[in-house]
Amino acid sequence: MRIDKYLSNANLGSRSEIKKLIKDKRVRLNGQIVKNGKENLDINHDIVEVNQHKIELFENVYLMLNKPQGVITATTDSSQKTVLDLIQPQDRFKGLSPVGRLDKDTTGLLILTTDGQLNHNLLAPNKHITKIYSATIQGIVTDKEINRFEQGLVLKNGTTFKPAKLEVGSIDTDQNQSQITVSISEGKYHQIKRMFKACGMTVLTLERLQMGPLKLDSTLKPGKYRKLSPNELNLLK
């Protein structure tokens, strides 16, 4: 990787600020002053210092966030709190973006990464990455709904949804509510809410538990995040 790109990924400033750091002889590669930002470095072995502080080598950042209710899945917004606002400044790496979108009132697993390729792969429709959600539904979910989900729902406006696996965990007849899990392999706008609406039911709470092989860490409190472990990253890639 080029040294200037590496410094940019490490959040050390804009392109012109990084150029200036190099021009001012503040950047060293294995102890030698760097004269040209286009020089390449080996991220596994080389040591980069800026102002005599070692800059940790990394390529991309991968975070798992337990998204709370009330924040929007965006990187910036003029009036509303975004998921990026939940990330500490030192972890807000350049290009860090959410993978896909959860509604403002949806909670649970959200991956944020600087890795544009992985982001794209996880969302590509032809990859059919399974997403598993847990939800509380206003209404009693029966075999009728399970079959409709299994066959692939078609809305009145012609929108079609691929077959989805709906499972009932528990039913509360007093409250007229059902606790369910549902697995879908696409990510259409408000998909789960629209699927239940088509069955005459309302989604009261929605939480994403899993995306592909990656499971939400049950010890992560809402609003908290952590880096993916090497094992989790391997699973995703």
146 and 194 in contact (C-beta within 8 Å)? no
Closer of 21 and 206 to ligand URA (Cβ): 206
Residues 164-193, one symbol each (x = binds ligand URA by CB under 6 A, - = not), give: --------------------------xxxx
Q: Give dist(CA 227, CA 177) in Å, integer.
A: 36
Closer of 60 and 183 to ligand URA (Cβ): 183
User: Out of 39, 46, 85, 103, which residue is the one contacting ligand URA (CB under 6 A)?
Assistant: 103
206 binds ligand URA (CB under 6 A): yes
Q: Give dist(CA 43, CA 56) in Å, integer.
A: 9
Residue the block writes with tokens 């590509």:
124
Determine if residue 191 is left, alpha or beta; phi over 0 gives left, psi from -120 to 50 gives alpha, anything else beta: alpha
Report which secondary-structure segment, H or E, holds 6. Answer: helix 3-9
Supply the minimum distance, in Å, between the C-beta of residue 235 and ligand URA.
21
Number of neighbours of residue 111 by Cβ within 10 angstroms = 23
Determine the interface stretch with ligand URA among 22-30, 81-89, 100-108, 138-146 (rule: CB under 6 A).
100-108
Report which secondary-structure segment, H or E, holds 190. Answer: none
Supply the minimum distance, in Å, between the C-beta of residue 188 and ligand URA.
8
Supply the minimum distance, in Å, between the C-beta of residue 41 and ligand URA.
40
Report which secondary-structure segment, H or E, holds 143. Answer: helix 143-151
Supply the minimum distance, in Å, between the C-beta of residue 183 and ligand URA.
11
Supply the minimum distance, in Å, between the C-beta of residue 187 and ligand URA.
7
User: Out of 66, 106, 119, 177, which residue is the one contacting ligand URA (CB under 6 A)?
Assistant: 106
Active-site residues, by number, are 103
102 binds ligand URA (CB under 6 A): yes
Closer of 40 and 159 to ligand URA (Cβ): 159
Query: Which of 119, 76, 114 has its CA nearest to residue 100?
Result: 119
Q: Give dist(CA 192, CA 187) in Å, integer.
A: 9
Determine the residue type at 140. I
For residue 188, which phi and psi values (nearest 5 degrees)?
-75, 160
107 binds ligand URA (CB under 6 A): no
Count the residues of the shown chain that bind ligand URA, applying the rule CB under 6 A.
8
Residues of this chain that interact with ligand URA (CB under 6 A) are 102-103, 106, 190-193, 206
